Amino acid sequence: MGKRLLVLHGPNLNLLGEREGREGGRLVDLDAALKARAGELGLELTVVQSNHEGVLLDTLHAERSRVEGVVVSPASLFGSYPLRDALEAIGLPALEVYLTELGERESVVADACVATLEGEGFDSYLEALARFASGDLTGEHSDEEDEESLEDEEEDEAPVGPVKTLGRKGKTPASETALAVAPARALAGPVGGSRKSLGRKVEAPAVAASPAKTLGRKAKEARAEPSEDFLSRALVRKKIADRLSGRLSPAELATWARAQWLEVQRGGPAESGQRELLEETLQRLTLSNVPPSRLSEPELVDLMTRMDR
Ligand SMILES: O=C1C[C@@](O)(C(=O)O)C[C@@H](O)[C@@H]1O
């Protein structure tokens, strides 16, 4: 299994493309591009969007032992100290991304991230995935490589032709990233306008590609489960059991259920013939931690047994 990453999309990004009236530039398109690139790079992604700072924090807490890095797109929460503190608290390497350029806005979240990638539309995210896959989070190493290969090319007096690379370090032919490029360019600014290169803040600590913390036994066990990624009644049953035995907190279960529910809404894979039941159960579990619909232990057991039928 590849490296597992958590991708967090902040507030209003659920309306991406829709508010701009842009086909092909919506959150579903971005997520599809991310999943496709992750597949190519051998990464596994958990993707969560929320308009609520607390949900982003809960997700970071809940996923901290399951993932090895975080791609965080704070959107308008760039000034969030709670988000920064949560990233610091979990101690995982993180890259901060923005579709557009931050300009005058100072990101506080950047304090807890190895680097910030901005102004490249979808490519900001895709570059973050590439950095995690290569282990070169600062992008400094591939800069050297680029410079070296540029020097080699210059020495060879290669004929000047169309630029083949995307962004600063993109090594993928443009044809392979057509889906990502169109919205990326559109969001990054006027076509042909001046484009800032990726990587705003690189005075970052050298961080290894592996997690900053050693993974606990529980995390390793979770990793070994073949069903972890596939939404099934067995998986939901297990999560409820984890909650009942105290391995998951009420907030962790609710956050997990919400993320899974969003995946189902987006057409993610689910146990054949059980999609409706799973969706309904996940919705119930998502609300299981808020007072009016809080679930008692007997109710949780009841939900769990419904997963057996
Ligand atoms: O939605 C967006 C785009 C953005 O999140 C970005 O990534 O550039 C920045 C936000 O301020 C804005 O609301």
Q: Which residues contact 115 (CB under 8 A, 6 or more apart)?
A: 95, 96, 131, 137, 138, 139, 199, 200, 201, 202, 204
Residues in a beta bridge with 9: 49, 73
Residue of minimum CA distance from atom 4 in ligand 1: 75
pTM score of the predicted model? 0.54
CB 235, CB 228: distance < 8 Å: yes
Distance 135 CA to ligand 1 centre (A): 26
The structural domains of the chain, with segments of one domain joined by +, span 3-142+167-188, 225-306
Structure confidence by residue, pLDDT tens digits, 245-300: 787 888 888 888 888 887 887 777 788 888 889 989 998 898 887 777 788 887 88
Distance 274 CA to ligand 1 centre (A): 36
Q: What's the pLDDT score for residue 262?
A: 79
CA–CA gap between residue 186 and residue 162 (Å, rounded): 20
Given the CA of residue 102, which atom of ligand 1 is nearest to it? 8
Percent of the chain with pLDDT over 70: 71
Angle at Cα 121 formed by Cα 120 and Cα 125, nearest 5°? Answer: 85
Q: What's the pLDDT score for residue 130?
A: 97
CB 98, CB 7: distance < 8 Å: no
Residue of minimum CA distance from atom 10 in ligand 1: 75
Residue of minimum CA distance from atom 12 in ligand 1: 75
Given the CA of residue 75, which atom of ligand 1 is nearest to it? 5
Distance 71 CA to ligand 1 centre (A): 15
The single residue listed with the structure tokens 């609520």 is 52
Given the CA of residue 15, which atom of ligand 1 is nearest to it? 1
Residue of minimum CA distance from atom 5 in ligand 1: 75
Given the CA of residue 12, which atom of ligand 1 is nearest to it? 1
CA–CA gap between residue 8 and residue 72 (Å, rounded): 5
CA–CA gap between residue 2 and residue 20 (Å, rounded): 35
Distance 150 CA to ligand 1 centre (A): 33
For 255-307, give the DSSP string.
HHHHHHHHHHHTT--B-TT-HHHHHHHHHHHHTTTSGGGPPPHHHHHHHHHHT
The single residue listed with the structure tokens 């529910």 is 261
Q: Which residues contact 126 (CB under 8 A, 6 or more apart)?
A: 33, 34, 37, 177, 180
Given the CA of residue 97, which atom of ligand 1 is nearest to it? 7
Instruction: Please say if the pLDDT value at position 158 is more than 50.
Output: no
CB 281, CB 306: distance < 8 Å: yes
Residues in a beta bridge with 49: 9
Distance 239 CA to ligand 1 centre (A): 34
Distance 10 CA to ligand 1 centre (A): 9
Residues with CB under 6 A from ligand 1: 12-13, 73, 75-76, 98-100
For 203, list phi and psi in degrees, rounded to 5.
-85, 55
- Which alpha helices (DSSP H) does 91-231 contain, by range? 122-134, 140-155, 178-188, 217-224
Residue 74 tokens, joined: 């704070």
CA–CA gap between residue 162 and residue 160 (Å, rounded): 7
Which of the four pLDDT bands, split at 50, 70 and 90, describes residue 167? Answer: very low
Mean pLDDT score, 40-58: 96
Instruction: Please say if the pLDDT value at position 21 is more than 80.
Output: no
Q: How many CA atoms lie within 13 A of 186 on its CB side?
A: 15
Q: Return the higher-pLDDT residue of 244 and 177.
A: 244
Q: Which residues contact 202 (CB under 8 A, 6 or more apart)?
A: 115, 138, 139, 140
**CA dist 216 to 2, 239, 245, Å?**
18, 18, 18
Q: How many CA atoms lie within 13 A of 230 on its CB side?
A: 9
Distance 284 CA to ligand 1 centre (A): 31
ipTM field: 0.93
Three-class SS of residue 59? helix
CA–CA gap between residue 184 and residue 66 (Å, rounded): 30
- Superfamily (CATH H level) for 3-142+167-188: Dehydroquinase, class II (3.40.50.9100)
